[in-house]
Chains A and B, each alone.
Chain A
Amino acid sequence: MLEILITVDDLNWERNENFMSYLYLIKYRKDGPLIFISHLDLSQLLRRVLMRAGIPVEWTQGFNPRIKASFGPALPLGLEGWQEITEIALKEPLEGVALKDRINEVAPNGFAIVEVEQVLDKNLTLSKLLKKAIYLIYLVPKDSMDLKKMVYFLEIIENDIRFILNQKEIKTEKVNKKGLQEIDLRPFIHDMTIFSKSCDRIIILLVQNIIAGGLVNPNLIMDRLFCNIMELFSIEKIIREKFINELPV
């Protein structure tokens, strides 16, 4: 759990009036074997996929040309992403469906484009667009539980959630390259509820605010806030379901 906050990587070129590229907002799925692939490796992967598909990408100027692309907040290692975001610039317009099909044909397992949309308002950068992210956290009991026990723990979890939402700040420590650092988790947590419950699985829904382009690794929230039940439950998986876009009026 090294990187917790990763800022939205805005398109790193100017979108002025002379900007002639065609911008596409791409929603993709990252799962299966790719859940362990870092953000850096993923951007490499995207570049290669685009090359294989023969997509007419725009290149950055400079010593080491890169494709003009920017990514939404990095997905922490181990998480599935169902509608991750990237934005790419092309030299010529392509129909969204064609773009999607051509890329998916040459994509490795674990990477698939879900939706492509041409971006018409060039002032709308990713950081302006993406406001919140929704996570699903799957908890499974380490040993099988009967209904009575499960109901008991559900109550504990519900109490925990209520407690969290009532707090003004939740300080925790995180380890990063600079060493130990204190951060406040509370502003990131927009909402939390129990999304689904059964005898063998509880799914918690977590809505996070994107602050300064960053999000918190949900594992950190779980470790910090549910320590009392985490001895009995293990996290089966965490999914980042989607981002919530707030279009300016």
Chain B
Amino acid sequence: MEKVEKPGRYIGEEYNEIVKEDDSQLIKIALAFPDLYEIGMSHLGFKILYDIINKRKDSWAERVFTPALDFEKYLIDNDIPLFSLESFRPLHEFDIVGFSLQYEMSYTNILNMLNLGKITLRSIKRDTGSPLIIAGGPTAFNPEPLAEFIDLFVIGDGEEIINEIIDVYKDWSRKSRKSNKKELLKNLVMLEGIYIPSFYKVKYHPDGRIESFLKIEKKAPLKIKKRIVKNLNKTTFPVTPIVPNIDIVHNRITLEIFRGCTRGCRFCQAGIIYRPVRERSVECLLKIAELSFRNTGYEEISLSSLSSSDYSQIDNLTSMMVENYQSKGVGISLPSLRIDNFSLHLANQTQKVRKTGLTFAPEVGTERMSKIINKNVDENDLYRTVQNAFKMGWRRIKLYFMIGLPTETWEDIEGIVKMIKKVEMIGRNKVGKKFSLNVSINALVPKPHTPFQWLALEAEDDLNKKFQYITKMIRSNNISFSFPDTRLTLLEAVFSRGDRRLADVLEEAIKRGCKFDSWQEHFNFKSWQESFQKCNLKMEFYTHRNREKDELMPWDLIDCGIKKQYLWEEWEKALQGISTIDCRQSICHGCGLELVCQEIGNKSVRNFNNS
């Protein structure tokens, strides 16, 4: 073990880890995260499920992460199956294995983990004795690339449905002694928010587009409605999270202040699939914060959400948190801030003394484009905010942009360059040379359930030309610049909007050793190209193709609550450069969630007196 890098990843025994007495009656659930310990342990959804399942007396949730290559080799050389951190149980001995689906480029890691855990890859080839393989998370909103490997997908919020799944499982295992897996699936499909891919057949047109979905199980729904937890204040939240012994990516208490976002940025999938907006009350958050702090001793609390300055009580909450925790040496952090002086005021509250850095995401460089993506950032707002930030003492600014957007021209690219240079100039004028500007530019990957889902990915060459142009134009001692490997972007685009036929490619790719694809040092594009070739599929079919309005998408079985028609209208508005104002500040746009909003009391027109 000493020879393995960071053995702390594999041995468990952290504070707040749950170890139960092993008992054959106990339903054993592996929460599997298809990435390293440091990444998986930083993920809030993972902690929520761990907490909910382990509160039950009849179940035990344990953790399994992807081993790094050196430890993988150790496992294979010694013929040790991939095991859990809590009881060192081999993956194949669990009753249920649940994978967290956070990003498409982790799919090979899922297959690799099944392999290492000695579980047959394809669902139909697995016998009754193997665990039930389930998966959930944002990329489950297009589950199709994994359809052949996963028995069951959970669509939407997991807090309630996880208990329902366990109840059904328990009932089934008692009655049938785990003899008939099909029966179990038939019982589970009755729950809202469950997608069982083997209950549907897909027919394709000769050109590869989908002709139809065929439901082959009577009980299966025609469309799978996502689960929505309506009241976050009444939902359990983990206040005894595990405190890792080694450093992890986000080593802190994460307080989810609200879920959902209605800003309506047209490239953003999270902004659609996590709707509607549901806030936790200040009272509830303060209580969670205090319990979490006492149970962990953490030195940082992050007020997390998709856009934290949009929380209705953010000013109030931030000042109370700072007041409560400053004397205890606990820092408060606010990721995802808007670009305005109000956000700066908030950041200043939390970083009064030590101004670590500010991150802004203007995304685009021209007003025209900002209307197309519906981000609606006024560039003068950015300059004003940056100017004030320098004045107040910040010296590290991070800017996020995106290229490859619909109808993009060189003028838009020039706009980004101008914007970066202007920000740099503001810095120069305010503080001389003692500041750093970190610019990160990504390529748009059109995502399912967004207004851009019909759009083709921009050609690799064009993207690279633009990246190189920007690199050349903004070269400066104060600026550091990063952009992605466009081959990785290409693959992400394939799997984002891929269909079930990609199963063959995935299987082929892991045979060729593909894993940890999002880690530059492990990414092997050549193997991927060979895999596509062998399976007779073309990446371009998935990436560089504009879809027709009525094309049946692989994810059309999944009902995320937002109507396809609404997304299409948004797409048309994008092309016309018409923005859509956040429904919290205007009228209800009828995205499809009206009834849910009514039920939970979300109002469209906000009281403007506060802002």
Contacts and interface: CB of A to CB of B under 8 A. Distances in A.
Interface of A: 32-34, 36-38, 40-41, 44-45, 47-52, 54, 59, 63-67, 77-78, 106-110
B299 A47 contact: yes
Nearest to B327: A59
A32 B247 contact: no
Given A36-B7, A44-B247, A77-B2, A106 B329 contact: no
Interface stretch (B103-111, B116-124, B290-298): B290-298
A48 B246 contact: no
B353 interface: yes
A51 B246 contact: no
Interface in B233-272: 243, 245-247
Interface stretch (B12-20, B73-81, B181-189): B12-20
Nearest to B244: A41
A44 B15 CA distance: 13
B589 to A, nearest CB: 45
Given A48-B243, A51-B293, A108-B13, 12 more contacts: A33-B8, A36-B8, A36-B11, A41-B8, A41-B245, A41-B247, A45-B245, A48-B15, A52-B296, A52-B297, A106-B15, A109-B13
Contact of B245 (A34, A59, A65, A78): A34
Contacts of A110: 13, 245
B329 A48 contact: no
Where chain B touches its partner, the secondary structure class is: loop
Interface residues of B, number: 25
Contacts of B15: 48, 52, 106-108
Contacts of B295: 52
B328 interface: yes
B354 interface: yes
B13 A64 contact: no
A51 B8 contact: no
Contact of A51 (B7, B247, B297): B297
B1 interface: yes
Contacts, number: 67
Given A36-B11, A108-B15, A48 B297 contact: yes
A54 B7 CA distance: 30
21 contacts: A33-B13, A33-B245, A34-B245, A36-B1, A36-B7, A36-B11, A41-B8, A41-B245, A47-B299, A48-B298, A49-B297, A51-B328, A52-B294, A52-B297, A54-B294, A59-B329, A65-B329, A66-B329, A106-B15, A106-B297, A110-B13
Given A36-B8, A37-B8, A108-B14, A48 B299 contact: yes
A67 B11 contact: no
A237 to B, nearest CB: 10
Contacts of A37: 8, 245-246
Contacts of B8: 33, 36-37, 41
A248 B6 CA distance: 41
Contacts of A40: 247
A54 B290 CA distance: 13
Nearest to B351: A63
Interface in B4-41: 6-8, 11-15
Contact of B354 (A32, A41, A64, A106): A64
Q: Which of B1, B294, B297, B298: most chain A CB closer than 10 A?
A: B297
Nearest to B1: A36
A36 B246 CA distance: 9
B305 to A, nearest CB: 25
A109 B246 CA distance: 14
Interface in B120-134: none
A200 B170 CA distance: 49
A77 B8 CA distance: 11
Contacts of A67: 329
Contact of A33 (B12, B247, B299): B12
A238 to B, nearest CB: 10
Nearest to A34: B245
Nearest to A60: B329
B354 A63 contact: yes
B70 to A, nearest CB: 14
Nearest to A63: B354
Contacts of A38: 246
A48 B245 contact: no
A48 B354 contact: no
B143 to A, nearest CB: 37
B398 to A, nearest CB: 19
A36 B10 CA distance: 11
Contacts of B7: 36
Interface string B475-501: 000000000000000000000000000
B13 A47 contact: no
B8 to A, nearest CB: 5
Contact of A41 (B1, B246, B296, B299): B246
A139 to B, nearest CB: 16
A44 B353 CA distance: 21
A2 B532 CA distance: 43
A118 B157 CA distance: 52
A49 B8 CA distance: 18
Contacts of A54: 294
A240 to B, nearest CB: 15
Contacts of A107: 15
Nearest to A64: B354
A104 to B, nearest CB: 12
A193 B295 CA distance: 46
A145 B175 CA distance: 56
Nearest to B293: A51
A47 B296 CA distance: 10
Contacts of B353: 63
B252 to A, nearest CB: 11
A148 to B, nearest CB: 32
Nearest to A33: B13
Contacts of B247: 40-41, 44
Given A32-B13, A33-B13, A78 B296 contact: no
Nearest to A66: B329
A50 B13 contact: no
Interface in B311-360: 328-329, 353-354
Contacts of A34: 245
A172 to B, nearest CB: 20
A123 B245 CA distance: 33
B298 A33 contact: no
Contact of A47 (B11, B12, B293, B297): B297
Which 3 A-B pairs rank lowest in CB-CB distance, beginning with the nearest?
A51-B297, A48-B297, A33-B13
B245 A108 contact: yes
A108 B329 CA distance: 21
A32 B8 CA distance: 11
A78 B245 CA distance: 14
